[in-house]
Amino acid sequence: MRLTRPLTALVALASALTAALVLTGTTAQAAGPAYVALGDSYSAGNGAGNYISSSGDCHRSNSAYPALWASAHSPSSFTFAACSGAVTSDVTASQLGGLNSSTGLVTLTIGGNDAGFSDVMTTCVTGSDSTCVNRVNQAETFVRNTLPGRLNTVYNAIRAKAPNARVVVLGYPDMYDLSAWFCIGLSDTKHQKIDEAADVLDSTTASVAAAHGFVFGDVRPTFKGHELCSGDDYLHSLVISPSWESYHPTATGHSAGYLPVLNAND
């Protein structure tokens, strides 16, 4: 019975301190999960500007969706390993060093370069309709028949190194707004075929990700109405300098296209 008054006083003091902290805005925020961002240029931030000089040719950007998510969620650690031009073997060879049993979140975009994204776009920009269609058909055959095995290798490696992580595999947007009544540049045939390729890549990636228990984040809905030719583009078209920004998301594409999908699936 003698402890009642001291305990009551301690509870009152704790309540007062908590109230004071709330009033001053100094309540402690729990750290978010250890976060590792893997993948290619669509994760590194090609086209978003605000590049991290130390990242060199990886062209990582502070305006890319991984950096934006980390800034908003204060993860206990953040490893930004995504790199421009990366293919699946680059992820397994050089991007997994930040993963461990404490990793809570992993994100990535990968597979576009394996399928020859840059060559497809170059061929379609410079070649005829038939040349473009043939090149896209080759890419789609690769995506359906060969890419799943490569994705399996990457996903297995991620899970082995980060057994407790939530893994969010983000997709690629459609490149063109096919509903646009007028668009300078490539023909309607090319627009349709390039978007078809993106859909094949996304559906294949989603299927393999699901088989591994990973989340697939489809960005096509958030980019809908903001593709090239829409008049409110979240993507760069052909850029002369620096040319590597061509056909990549803008800073708005990352903040309004990719980030909301990650936030919904993190």
Q: H-helix or E-strand containing 34?
A: strand 34-39
Peptide bond into 249 cis (omega under 30): no
What's the CA angle centered on 224, arms 49 and 69, to 5 degrees? 45
CA distance to 42, 43, 170, 198, per residue, from 69 (Å): 15, 12, 14, 25
CA distance to 25, 52, 131, per residue, from 203 (Å): 45, 32, 24
Residues 169 and 182: their CA atoms lie apart, in Å, by 33
C-alpha radius of gyration, the chain, whole number: 22
* Residue 256 CB burial class (10 angstroms; 0-12, 13-18, ≥19): middle
Residues 193 and 196: their CA atoms lie apart, in Å, by 5
Kindly list the catalytic residues: 41, 248
